[in-house]
């Protein structure tokens, strides 16, 4: 007999009965609020073309780097999961890959992946038995059948999930054709883009110089000159904003910033584009560009997001065979106080600029980020990110930032995901954990019930909308 | 209708009913104990002159850098809060500033500032509605009226707060005239000083060389010679001790210590006082001076406190306009194991020396500070400090230090504040949180009830008295 | 009247009654499982010779560096505890030392030492009053009398403790004669060794060059040549494996690894054995040897353990007088992401290699170790170690690693102790804390009851057995 799969109505709420009662009441007030998804990685072509998703393995297994990394860590080869080496096509049977996933689903016990996936299985697909080796075929068939139906097309799910707005992430070389298609389609779903210039900002990005050439082509500016390069950014930012973007996003190894003189910046650009860029120059250029981007945000009003601290592609063998984004990125110790100072010295006191900081290094919550955000007008704190986007991770985030930064220097939740079907589960998880945290404060008489009710709605909905100007 | 303001009798105690019962019983035993305030920043002139405090904004808003930083972080200009740029006088109406504070008081939800202030409002001033834009005028008028009464003069509050002893902090150039006045006044309140030599120890302190000149003037020693400089310290330490001091305090960027040969120390002093001191020499000099101060403490018995790890005045624009201490200090990663070793290698095994360590970097609690204090006879741990002087901060401190250092290598609570009216609230908060922590240990059968009762009194009163020799 | 000593049946379980009920049921299922002790420091001569242990002070006080460090930190001289300076014999009366311990036993309130020791007193020795100055003599007499009985001989305790297998730790120069004696004795207790090559791998180890000479003598290889040295390791590893070893252990200051070319490795070895080894070369050699050892583990199947991050003998005065292992080791900040990369780039994807990582720096749990173990097939996480082998330490370990690494990239508990009598208490503590953690997940509906039951047995027994190939 397979185990049943049911989602308990009180899941993720604190266990103490008094606290749970308060949390349940708070959650009841916010569970029906629409989803604001201001930062994520869904594919705009889904909403542009509105085609059916593929099979269960294609949709839920292969693109989920959380799932891949865990299975791989236990010795399961990528190939068996349907991941093909670069330049080749997977010969794995999707059903077999899914069975392997089912047999090893116990590995996800205690992880947020299980919480998200069980929601998808139970709520999105209506399955009532737990995933295991025994039930894998049932899952595969059930999910595939549903995915072939109109109710599981991207736009139908978007509406069913009650998404008020979702942001995707594109780089400056992207034509945003899918966003144009969505806009022209008459469909009223709000799908916007965000400006992520890493491929033309990071000298260590694969094909950086080629990217600059394409940046010239797409903008008509000479992006091998410093002024042309900056003008190209301004032009594309304006275009992205036209296409709905309200934010930029910057994925740098560190949060280093710099404030070079115009002459030094130009000389640095010349070195960086000469084809023999040192590691120091690459870092300095990224640092200078964060400050340049902040200056442009002050001009055009785009909210700036900084996502630092990931050692990308830590596993060279795996990277060589399979490429990026298969679960081999590892967080690094990250320092913000010295690194952000050049930018903050220049723009930190601006009232018309907003910079949202993220981290993979939880030690900075109470030591660096909360004190910085609790002082500088430009700074706000993004939610617990990536490895920390989890019940315990969110609790640590609140417990370590609230007492110094308060709630109003944070920006609500964002799901940061490409796993479209799990988006409601992720927002629900965040809302439940935040309501639980607020309930603890109420139960300890550190917060009034009225304030908690306001905050529950702010954390679930209002803060994200305001912080991202949505 | 404004919300009511009431302080729940069980506030800040754990929510589980069994644990809360134990905590409540423990707290009942210690809530009446007098306040020992062995480290803080109240102004001795208050107690010397015993004049009425000014208005609500002057007393509770302008000097509170916790409050200023939060309001400023949300875009409220310093000027509107009554903070005047250097060299000018504030033109802000205190009532208007207070209204702004009231309108934005919701920003402090979940912060210790709200806990402290609500206590001041409810207990010290007897106000029964919550602060908001709507009630700001009522607050302003009520508080000002009370402040004008004799019961709110500093000495009356000191007695009402049941303060057994309070330490202020002065630098060696201070004449301690207010302390003399207090002593000569016949008033029986015990207000003592502490020796904080940063202005004559830190070569990067504003006016360092001028300070040395004044150090010479005040001591009659030639403080531009190494021996004269050391003798001046000895002389002023003795004077401070005469005026009641039992401790010294050292606010350094890092806990670096050094143990140079006498010749190297003298050569360093010559470089440092030459007017062209490098950053490295400045750090080395501070490091050497911690060891020198430890040596003097071994001679004269003053307990040594080290408060490292704050990046002072991180916001250069704000510093230039408004100066120090307005909420722009940011904690930094801090390393103790290597940094303290020179001092500990020399003095770490002394039984007649006591050094109390503080930190703004919570990562060192379990990794460095508890292991160090759990081994070296000279070391004790100060309480959770500054940004961490909060319910969650104190819980982290206990949970991360107790299992390695025990309770008896800690020194109880100190409020470290210039916000005089909040001192009872701060001690009460610490006592409640400590009783809650002890109650958890009892409820998990990790501590006997008898031991918990002893510890509650030790943490609330005895340890501070013993550690600071009060 | 002395206080009674009783061990509450629910000790260390969560306090919430629903959670406690779940935890109690889980614990009931695993409390009777045999002890797997795959890593520790008991003395094999105990089991070889099976002689009675000495007196209470000799067995429970003098060898316990947790106890020594706490007593020393409060100003009690080592000599008074029976620790003799190097080259001399202690003149302290064991009874007097024990009395001192009893008088100061309150210092251990809230520490795991008290939990372990109270178990030893109550369960192993049947004492029913708490240790104090008042009861110290009663303790001393009772314990000594029991220790003289046959039921307290090492093998009898081994059986009584239901130890299925225990690993000791020896270096390559050890003859393993005690293990041979045990094996030849006909006693069916399973006592195995582990290969800890630090004395012949760490150029900074006392007597390193002498150790290499002895390494040559014992193996017949020329250990002053790189190839001979490597061959000697292979030979001794094979011998250790013959004597039951299933693992190696490496106690390095940092987890630095290197992957030098054979020529560079040989040149480094020449420098390291030349007698003028720089600190950089010493670190590089340790780094290279971790990679060499991983390669040999891939050949011979020994599981590799890495224990980095302790600043050994931090107190030079104490080290000079008393030597190693008396409580003066202090954890250091430790970095794994960059440090392990050379080894992982070479061997990280092997399915026949297993490396168990430990840390004294809890900040790496969620930032570095869980992400690494949640990706690399070779990596698993050892339990909370040393200073963190405690209730709160274990809870932090689970809360900070599970959501990213899951449970199945961890290896259960190991006691890592030489305090033989406390081994059941340590495993019991771990089982209780793990059951409490699982119960919390169940109560928050993050884990099913069936999964929790499986996991309780896995964490208590199965994972250690599998991970260490026992």
Could you report the per-residue pLDDT of C263-295, keeping only the tens digit for each? 999 999 999 999 889 999 999 999 999 999 999
* Residue B84 sits in the same domain as residue B176: no
CA distances from B84 to A377, A408, B78, B81, B89 (A): 19, 26, 8, 9, 5
Q: Is the distance from CB of C108 to CB of C70 less than 8 angstroms?
A: yes
The tokens for A6 are 């049911």
Residue B111 lies in a domain: yes
* Residue C24 sits in the same domain as residue C71: no
pLDDT for C66 equals 96
- For C115, name the nearest residue in chain B, comparing CA atoms only: B446
Contact flag A451-B316 (C-beta cutoff 8 Å): no
Provide, as residue numbers in chain B, all residues whose Cβ is less than 8 Å from the Cβ of A450: 3
Flag whether residue A311 sits within 8 Å of chain C, measured between CB atoms.
yes
**Angle at CA A62, nearest 5°, toward A60 and A66?**
80
Q: Is the distance from CB of A200 to CB of A273 less than 8 angstroms?
A: no
Distance between CA atoms of residues A111 and A392, nearest Å: 10
Flag whether residue A409 sits within 8 Å of chain B, measured between CB atoms.
yes
Contact flag A335-B333 (C-beta cutoff 8 Å): yes
DSSP strands (E only) in A214-352 = 247-250, 303-306, 310-311, 330-331
Q: Is the distance from CB of A195 to CB of A173 less than 8 angstroms?
A: no
Residue B2 lies in a domain: no
Contact flag A446-B330 (C-beta cutoff 8 Å): no
Q: pLDDT digit of tens for each residue in chain A (470 aa)?
A: 789 999 999 999 999 999 999 999 999 999 999 999 999 999 999 999 999 999 999 999 999 999 999 999 999 999 999 999 998 988 889 999 999 999 999 999 999 999 999 999 999 999 999 999 999 999 999 999 999 999 999 999 999 999 999 999 999 999 999 999 999 999 999 999 999 999 999 999 999 999 999 999 999 999 999 999 999 999 999 999 999 999 999 999 999 999 999 999 999 999 999 988 999 999 999 999 999 999 999 999 999 999 999 999 999 999 999 998 889 999 999 999 999 999 999 999 999 999 999 999 999 999 999 999 999 999 999 999 999 999 999 999 999 999 999 999 999 999 999 999 999 999 999 999 999 999 999 999 999 999 999 999 999 999 999 999 99
Provide, as residue numbers in chain B, all residues whose Cβ is less than 8 Å from the Cβ of A406: 70, 107-111
Q: How far is B13 from chain C, CA to nearest CA, in Å?
A: 15
Q: How far is A399 from chain C, CA to nearest CA, in Å?
A: 14
Residue A5 lies in a domain: no
* Residue A382 sits in the same domain as residue A453: yes
Out of B132, B149, B166, pick the residue that ends a domain. B149
Out of C103, C129, C152, pick the residue that ends a domain. C152
pLDDT for C85 equals 94
Residue by residue, DSSP assigns B382-417 as PPS-GGG-SHHHHHHHHHHHHHHH-STTB-------
CA distances from C61 to B136, C117, C253 (A): 63, 10, 27
Place of tokens 């103490």: A16
Place of tokens 């023999």: A276
**Angle at CA C305, nearest 5°, toward C300 and C309?**
150
Contact flag A317-C366 (C-beta cutoff 8 Å): no
- For C17, name the nearest residue in chain A, comparing CA atoms only: A16
Flag whether residue A16 sits within 8 Å of chain B, measured between CB atoms.
yes
Residue A144 lies in a domain: yes
The set of residues, in sequence order, having a beta carbon less than 8 Å from that of C136 and lying 6+ positions away, is C98, C99, C101, C102, C103
Distance between CA atoms of residues C307 and C414, nearest Å: 13
CA distances from A158 to A33, A187, B155 (A): 14, 11, 66
Contact flag B374-C112 (C-beta cutoff 8 Å): no
Q: How many domains does chain B have?
A: 2
* Residue A125 sits in the same domain as residue A271: no
- Alpha helices by DSSP H, A301-326: 316-322
A207-228 burial, b for 16+ CB within 10 Å, e for fewer?
ebbebbeebbebbebebbbbeb
Phi, psi of C165 (to 5 degrees): -160, 140
Chains that touch A (3 or more CB pairs under 8 A): B, C
Helix axes B226-242, B279-300, angle to 10 degrees: 50
pLDDT for A325 equals 86
Provide, as residue numbers in chain C, all residues whose Cβ is less than 8 Å from the Cβ of B371: 329-331, 387
C377, HSE (Cβ side, Cα atoms, 13 Å): 20
Residue C5 lies in a domain: no
Under-70 pLDDT residues of chain C: none
**Angle at CA A461, nearest 5°, toward A459 and A466?**
95
Determine the structural domain holding residue C124 and report its residue range: 52-152
Residue by residue, DSSP assigns C112-133 as HHHHHHHHIIIIIT---B--ST
pLDDT for A340 equals 98
Q: Which of A363, A371, A441 shows the shortest C-beta gap to B387? A: A371
Under-70 pLDDT residues of chain B: none
ipTM surpasses 0.85: yes
A379: how many CB neighbours lie within 10 A of its CB?
23
Contact flag B337-C315 (C-beta cutoff 8 Å): no
Provide, as residue numbers in chain B, all residues whose Cβ is less than 8 Å from the Cβ of A400: 392
* Residue A191 sits in the same domain as residue A134: no
Contact flag B391-A446 (C-beta cutoff 8 Å): yes
* Residue C206 sits in the same domain as residue C343: yes
C216: how many CB neighbours lie within 10 A of its CB?
17
Residue C30 lies in a domain: yes
- For C443, name the nearest residue in chain A, comparing CA atoms only: A15
Provide, as residue numbers in chain C, all residues whose Cβ is less than 8 Å from the Cβ of A110: 402-403, 406-407, 441, 446-447
* Residue C297 sits in the same domain as residue C178: yes
* Residue C85 sits in the same domain as residue C204: no
Q: Is B279 exposed, middle or buried (0-12, 13-18, 19+ CB in 10 A)?
A: exposed
Flag whether residue A4 sits within 8 Å of chain C, measured between CB atoms.
no
Flag whether residue B392 sits within 8 Å of chain A, measured between CB atoms.
yes
Flag whether residue C259 sits within 8 Å of chain A, measured between CB atoms.
no
Q: Which of A7, A253, A314 to mutate to test the interface with C (most CBs of C within 10 A)?
A: A314
C-contacting residues of A 325-354, CB under 8 Å? 327-333
Q: Which of A345, A375, A443 shows the shortest C-beta gap to B73? A: A375
Provide, as residue numbers in chain B, all residues whose Cβ is less than 8 Å from the Cβ of C16: 16
For chain B, give percent helix, strand, coil, nearest 5.
Answer: 50, 5, 40
Contact flag B314-A344 (C-beta cutoff 8 Å): yes
Residue in B74, B85, B80 with CA at minimum distance from that of residue B96: B80
Phi/psi region, residue C314 (left: phi>0; alpha: psi -120 to 50; beta: rest), is: alpha
Flag whether residue A379 sits within 8 Å of chain B, measured between CB atoms.
yes
Residue C413 lies in a domain: yes
pLDDT for B101 equals 98
Flag whether residue B253 sits within 8 Å of chain A, measured between CB atoms.
no
Q: Is A261 exposed, middle or buried (0-12, 13-18, 19+ CB in 10 A)?
A: exposed
- For C320, name the nearest residue in chain B, comparing CA atoms only: B345
Helix axes C65-73, C94-103, angle to 10 degrees: 70
CA–chain centroid gap for A413, Å, is 10
Instruction: Identify the CATH number of the domain in which residue C106 sits.
Output: 1.10.2020.10
CA–chain centroid gap for C125, Å, is 24
Flag whether residue A290 sits within 8 Å of chain B, measured between CB atoms.
no
Distance between CA atoms of residues C341 and C235, nearest Å: 28
- For B344, name the nearest residue in chain C, comparing CA atoms only: C315
Distance between CA atoms of residues C36 and C47, nearest Å: 17
Q: Which of B351, B371, B447 shows the shortest C-beta gap to C75? A: B351
Out of A123, A150, A177, pick the residue that ends a domain. A150
Contact flag C69-B374 (C-beta cutoff 8 Å): yes
Q: How far is C95 from chain A, CA to nearest CA, in Å?
A: 46
DSSP letter (8 states) at residue A348:
T
Provide, as residue numbers in chain C, all residues whose Cβ is less than 8 Å from the Cβ of B450: 3
Q: Is the distance from CB of A327 to CB of A68 less than 8 angstroms?
A: yes
pLDDT for B416 equals 97
Q: What stretch of H or E contains C303?
A: strand C303-306
Flag whether residue A70 sits within 8 Å of chain C, measured between CB atoms.
yes
Instruction: Identify the CATH number of the domain in which residue B419 sits.
Output: 3.20.20.140
Residue by residue, DSSP assigns C304-320 as EEE---EETT--HHHHH
Contact flag C402-A330 (C-beta cutoff 8 Å): no
Residue C4 lies in a domain: no
* Residue C128 sits in the same domain as residue C163: no
Q: Which of C11, C69, C363 shows the shortest C-beta gap to B375? A: C69
- Alpha helices by DSSP H, B198-225: 198-201, 208-219
Phi, psi of C77 (to 5 degrees): -65, 145
Contact flag A73-C404 (C-beta cutoff 8 Å): no
Residue in A167, A182, A170 with CA at minimum distance from that of residue A35: A167
* Residue A221 sits in the same domain as residue A108: no
What pairing do the DSSP bridges indicate for beta strands C355-357 and A379-381? Answer: unpaired
- For C12, name the nearest residue in chain B, comparing CA atoms only: B444
* Residue B22 sits in the same domain as residue B114: no
Contact flag C399-A390 (C-beta cutoff 8 Å): no
* Residue C144 sits in the same domain as residue C253: no
Chains that touch C (3 or more CB pairs under 8 A): A, B
**Angle at CA A376, nearest 5°, toward A341 and B309?**
60
């Amino acid at each position: 007999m397979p185990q049943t799969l049911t989602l308990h109505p009180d899941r993720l709420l604190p266990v103490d009965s008094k606290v749970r009662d308060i949390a349940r009441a708070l959650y009841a007030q916010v569970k029906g609020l629409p989803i604001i998804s201001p930062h994520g990685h869904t594919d705009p072509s889904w909403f542009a073309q509105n085609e059916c998703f593929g099979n269960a393995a294609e949709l839920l297994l292969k693109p989920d780097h959380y799932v891949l990394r865990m299975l791989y860590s236990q010795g399961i080869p990528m190939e068996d999961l349907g991941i093909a080496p670069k330049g080749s096509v997977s010969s794995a049977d999707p059903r077999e890959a899914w069975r392997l996933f089912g047999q090893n689903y116990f590995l996800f016990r205690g992880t947020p992946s299980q919480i998200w996936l069980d929601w998808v299985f139970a709520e999105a697909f209506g399955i009532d038995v737990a995933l295991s080796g025994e039930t894998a075929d049932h899952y595969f068939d059930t999910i595939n059948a549903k995915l072939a139906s109109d109710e599981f097309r991207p736009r139908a799910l978007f509406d069913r999930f009650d998404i008020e707005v979702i942001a995707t992430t594109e780089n400056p070389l992207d034509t945003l054709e899918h966003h144009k298609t969505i806009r022209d389609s008459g469909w009223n779903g709000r799908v916007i883009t965000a400006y992520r210039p890493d491929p033309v900002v990071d000298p260590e990005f694969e094909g950086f110089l080629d990217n600059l050439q394409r940046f010239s082509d797409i903008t008509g500016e000479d992006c091998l000159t410093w002024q042309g390069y900056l003008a190209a950014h301004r032009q594309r930012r304006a275009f992205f904003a036209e296409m709905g973007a309200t934010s930029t996003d910057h994925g740098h190894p560190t949060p280093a910033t710099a404030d070079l003189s115009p002459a030094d910046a130009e000389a640095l650009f010349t070195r960086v584009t000469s084809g023999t860029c040192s590691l120091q120059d690459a870092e300095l250029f990224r640092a200078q560009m964060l400050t340049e981007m902040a200056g442009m945000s002050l001009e055009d009003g785009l909210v700036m997001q900084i996502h630092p601290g990931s050692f990308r592609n830590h596993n060279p063998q795996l990277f060589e065979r399979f490429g990026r984004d298969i679960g081999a990125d590892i967080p690094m110790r990250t320092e913000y106080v010295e690194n952000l100072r050049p930018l903050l010295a220049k723009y930190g006191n601006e009232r018309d600029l907003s910079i949202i900081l993220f981290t993979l290094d939880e030690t900075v919550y109470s030591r660096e980020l909360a004190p910085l955000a609790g002082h500088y007008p430009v700074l706000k704190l993004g939610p617990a990110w990536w490895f920390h986007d989890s019940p315990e991770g969110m609790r640590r985030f609140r417990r370590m930032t609230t007492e110094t930064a308060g709630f109003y220097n944070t920006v609500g939740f964002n799901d940061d995901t490409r796993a479209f079907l799990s988006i409601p589960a992720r927002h629900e998880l965040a809302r439940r954990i935040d309501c639980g945290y607020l309930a603890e404060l109420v139960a300890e008489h550190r917060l009034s019930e009225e304030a908690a009710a306001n905050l529950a709605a702010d954390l679930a909905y209002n803060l994200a909308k305001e912080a991202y100007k949505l």
